Amino acid sequence: MTKPLVPAELVPAQAGPGELSGPRISIVIPARDEAGQIGRALDRILAAVRSRCEIIVVVDSASDPTWEEVQARTVTEPRMRCLVSEFGPGPANAIRYGIDQARAGVVVVTMADNSDDPRQIDELAALVERGAAVAAASRYTRGGGQIGGPIVKGLLSRLAGRSLQLLARPGTRDATNSFKAYSTSFVRQVGIDSRHGFAIGIELTAKARRLRRPVAEVPTIWLDRQDGRSAFRVLAWMPSYLRWYLFCFGRLLTADGLAARCSHHRRPGRARVAETSRPAAHIPAPAARVPAQSPATDWATWHVIDADHAPAGPRESRGAA
């Protein structure tokens, strides 16, 4: 059995008389240089979500103006936290760290650029509570759509989603969309291995498919951001997306078999690990800590965070609200 990623001291205590037992949904927002934009996204989320929730904004560095803007809001909004990622720079590590800190049984990943529809967060969370490991907001199912955005990126995303659903049946026509809800226990069981970009969405969909865990979807209308510049890099992140696209195809894996496959991929030079139900030796090397102060180009720099191990060294509370 894998160890939980959240240390015992971070797990909320039992609620006292008259208190709520904690959030139903943890909403994770990776952000970089979103000062002036993220405020509107946060206001929309707070107005739309009806369930008990916590909002976790994760930045690369406390020197990012986004951190100061969100921190100012936490003074009057107890549901909100702004954290500096201890897993290194980049959106993948920001999402990974946000999920690591989540207190709810359902975690929803959404963007800071107002492209996602926050009114669907409750609906996505409800699907996970009904048994889905992953619930996707789908641009490419009936009733969904995509307005604006780079043409090449949109065509590749649509082709990947439609072809994957036709050939591998992962449960969603939009495996690449980052706007998804996850069972927190499922994510902590399978871990996150992505090194590049926003591939976590397709990675966790692929892992659910190989474990034959339910994946659901609801239609969504995605609108391209109106201000600022997207950090999405199609060519640089394509190999990571292709890896998980291909991973969707294959026979049923057990949790141990999945861990063995991913462990093999993280350790080049070793013999291929057979897909088996026997427990796998899973002792990854400690991840090197990346300094918090990083140039903007480091949003394409990654390292692996394993399902069973937090980064080596003492935990710091940099930027915690």
User: Which pLDDT tens digit goes with each residue over 209-224?
Assistant: 999 999 999 999 988 8
Host H or E run for residue 146: strand 145-147
Please check whether residue 91 lies inside any domain of the structure. yes
Phi, psi of 265 (to 5 degrees): -65, -30
Tell which residue, 200, 180, 69, 102, has the closest CA to residue 135.
180
Angstrom distance (rounded) from CA 45 to CA 40: 9
Query: What is the structure's pLDDT at 74?
Result: 95
In a domain, 299, yes or no: no
Q: In the β-sheet with 106-109, what is the strand arrangement from edge to edge?
A: 80-84, 53-59, 25-30, 106-109, 180-183, 134-138, 215-219
pLDDT value of residue 75: 94
Residue 5 in this model has a pLDDT that exceeds 90: no
pLDDT of residue 158: 81
Q: What pLDDT digit, counting tens, does each position of 86-116 carry?
A: 999 999 999 999 999 999 999 999 999 999 9
CATH number at residue 193: 3.90.550.10
Whether residue 300 lies inside any domain: the answer is no
Confidence check: pLDDT of 154 > 90: no
Residue 4 inside a domain? The answer is: no
Query: DSSP H helical segments within the chain, as ranges?
Result: 38-48, 65-74, 91-101, 121-129, 151-167, 184-190, 200-211, 234-247, 255-266
- Output 113 or 300, whichever has higher pLDDT: 113
Nearest-Å Rg of the Cα atoms of the chain is 19
| Domain-located, residue 145 | yes
**How many whole angstroms separate alpha carbon 276 and alpha carbon 295?**
42
- Domain presence at residue 197: yes
- Taking 80 as the threshold, does the pLDDT of residue 25 lie above it? yes
Q: How far apart are CA 215 and CA 223, in angstroms?
A: 24
- Could you list the residue range(s) of the whole structural domain that residue 26 is in? 22-250
| Per-residue pLDDT tens digits for 239-250 | 888 899 999 999
| Helix 38-48 / helix 65-74 crossing angle, nearest 10 deg | 30
Q: What is the arithmetic mean of pLDDT over 109-127?
A: 96
pLDDT at res. 21: 73
The pLDDT-based confidence of 252 (bands split at 50, 70, 90) is very high
Confidence of residue 146 (pLDDT cuts 50, 70, 90): confident
* Unique residue bearing structure tokens 């894998």: 2
Number of domains in the chain: 1
For residue 313, is it within any domain? no
Tell me, yes or no, whether 303 lies in a domain.
Answer: no
Minimum mean pLDDT among 30-39, 168-177, 289-298: which range?
289-298
CB 124 within 8 A of CB 218: yes
